[in-house]
Amino acid sequence: MTAVDSPAAAPPRSVRPLAGVLAATAVSLTGTRVSAIALPWFVLATTGSATMTGLVAFVEMTPYVLVKAFTGPLIDRLGPRVVSWTTDAVSAVAAGLVPLLHGLGVLPFWLLLIMVAVVGAARGPGDLAKEVMVPEAADRARVPLERATGLSGVTERLASTVGPAVGGGLVALLGPMAGLAVNAAAFALGSLVIALALPRGMGRAVAAAQPAAEGTKAQDEREALGEPGEQAGYWRMFREGFTFLRGEPLLLTVIVMLAVTNLLDAGFMTVLVPVWARESGGGPAAIGLTGSAWGIAAVTGSLIAAAVAHRLPRRAVFFAGFLLCGAPRFLVLALDAPMWAVLAVFAVGGFGSGFLNPILGAVLFERVPRRLLGRVRALGDSLAWAGIPLGGLLAGSAVAFAGLIPVLFVSGGLYFATTMLAGLRPEWREMDRLRGQGQAADVPDSASPERSAVSA
């Protein structure tokens, strides 16, 4: 197979881009994890309503998913570096206005919803841009793809460890507005890291290669119209990503499964855990403890995955990870277990979850041509995250209607059924069959939805 979008002369080896992407990801995600504790607790404490807490999560994640879905062609054209630092800067301003306006006594609930929606709309493209930069950063550092995605997973897990610990402590000691101020500062720092640490040409090689990759026929047609150098239009680029994704059965199966599990995870984190913490008497400190137990174990799992994932059977490890990190955490909260048992279950689940993202990331980067990565990743992520805006809203309404314990039992059962039944589909064999073959071969613009998946 031939790699795509490779420059004529490879740049000298440099770990700075990879370190910069990972550092910016760590900072921004840590702030987001702090906010994930501070914001629901603020709404729950001031309104006493699980439904309104879920509404805030819905208002944040709906623009996140929608804007992210349509940002892919812009990232492929402008380059992910520019999109990343600009959107993080917007997030920093919007997030910083929340504690400022609250301190001035001019933060009605409707204005809070607007600020949260702006943060969500900016976060989507920012997160996507950082993800898209990982394979190029790995190339520049001469790091194997699975190791780079493993390090990215470690970074995410570290954020999931530090964020809840910091968030729980800040909310308990200083109140939720302190956590939201830290979130704004984290976005600002992440923006600076990307703008200053990454080379200006980062991500532009793929965008510049777009016209050359469009195919001779399309180029001839434009030359006949007197437009030899014109890039493909936005909707044409968007359609290319959709066409490619529609012809990938494995990626589509992964997306459908993740759409369900992400919906359940969103309801769990934004509503069910805060309500459990309030009803059990643990308060925000209990949220921080469970999140830290999960995160520390997930970092351990991610480090192991970064070191040995390229030698392990992907499919078996993937579903074993979901078996550990899915239903048990719902059930242990429903059974009113002591805190030591809750922390043990969360730790085991976190360890299993640490193996998931390195495998998913490597599969995606292997199968998607580099020039299509932004738009395919945008569509795939948005579809997989489509249920997240509804997760908190549905969980809040369900708790208000039926109570916490029944909702925990039902959610845990749905999680188990979704992950285990999805594993019976034949597409999962592609996970191991195509590993180690490098990046997907590029396809011309005229590729049809019926084209086969990347073949050996």
Q: In degrees rounded to 5, what are phi and psi of residue 10?
A: -65, 140
88 lies in some domain: yes
Res 411: pLDDT: 93
**pLDDT tens-digit profile of 105-159?**
888 888 989 999 999 888 888 888 888 888 778 778 777 766 777 777 778 777 7
Angstrom CA distances, 256 to 245, 250, 253, 418, stand at 13, 10, 5, 10
- d(CA 388, CA 394) in angstroms, rounded, equals 10
Average pLDDT, the chain: 77
Mean per-residue pLDDT for 61-77? 81
Mean per-residue pLDDT for 337-357? 90
Res 434: pLDDT: 54
Matching residue, tokens 């309030």: 278
Confidence category of residue 385, pLDDT binned at 50, 70, 90 = confident
- d(CA 420, CA 339) in angstroms, rounded, equals 28
> Percentage of the chain surpassing pLDDT 90?
12
455 lies in some domain: no
How far is C-alpha 379 from the chain's CA centre?
A: 12
Q: Length of the chain, please?
A: 456
How far is C-alpha 391 from the chain's CA centre?
A: 15
Matching residue, tokens 């500062």: 185
Which of 36-40, 186-190, 196-200 has the least mean pLDDT?
196-200
Structural domain count of the chain: 1
Nearest to 20 by CA among 128, 119, 121, 141: 141
| pLDDT above 90 (res 408) | yes
Confidence category of residue 456, pLDDT binned at 50, 70, 90 = very low
| pLDDT above 60 (res 10) | no
Which of 112-116, 250-254, 434-438 has the least mean pLDDT?
434-438
222 lies in some domain: no
Res 212: pLDDT: 43
In the numeric block, which tokens belong to residue 337? 């277990």
DSSP result, 58-82: HHHHHHHHHHHHTTHHHHHHH-HHH
> Percentage of the chain surpassing pLDDT 70?
83
440 lies in some domain: no
127 lies in some domain: yes
For residues 149 and 88, the answer to whether their CB atoms sit within 8 Å is no
For residues 384 and 258, the answer to whether their CB atoms sit within 8 Å is yes
7 lies in some domain: no
25 lies in some domain: yes
3-state helix, strand, coil in the chain (%, to 5): 80, 0, 20
Q: Looking at residue 73, which CATH number applies to its domain?
A: 1.20.1250.20
Q: Which domain holds residue 101?
A: 16-208+234-433
| pLDDT above 60 (res 1) | no
Mean per-residue pLDDT for 60-72? 82
What's the angle, vertex CA 73, arms to CA 254 and CA 434, rounded to 5?
35
Mean per-residue pLDDT for 85-90? 89
Confidence category of residue 407, pLDDT binned at 50, 70, 90 = very high
Which of 2-6, 62-66, 297-301, 442-446 has the least mean pLDDT?
442-446
> How many CB atoms lie under 10 A from the CB of residue 281?
7
Continuous H helices in 309-372:
314-325, 327-334, 339-353, 356-367
Mean per-residue pLDDT for 62-69? 83
Res 301: pLDDT: 85
311 lies in some domain: yes
Top mean-pLDDT range of 174-178, 363-367, 439-443:
174-178
| pLDDT above 80 (res 375) | no
Top mean-pLDDT range of 231-245, 285-299, 321-335, 357-371:
321-335
- The number of CA neighbours under 13 Å toward the Cβ of 265 is 20
| pLDDT above 60 (res 230) | no
3-state SS record for 222-279: HHHCCCCCCCCCHHHHHHHHHHHHHCCHHHHHHHHHHHHHHHHHHHHHHHHHHHHHHH
Res 313: pLDDT: 76
Res 279: pLDDT: 85
Res 452: pLDDT: 29
Res 387: pLDDT: 81
| pLDDT above 80 (res 427) | no
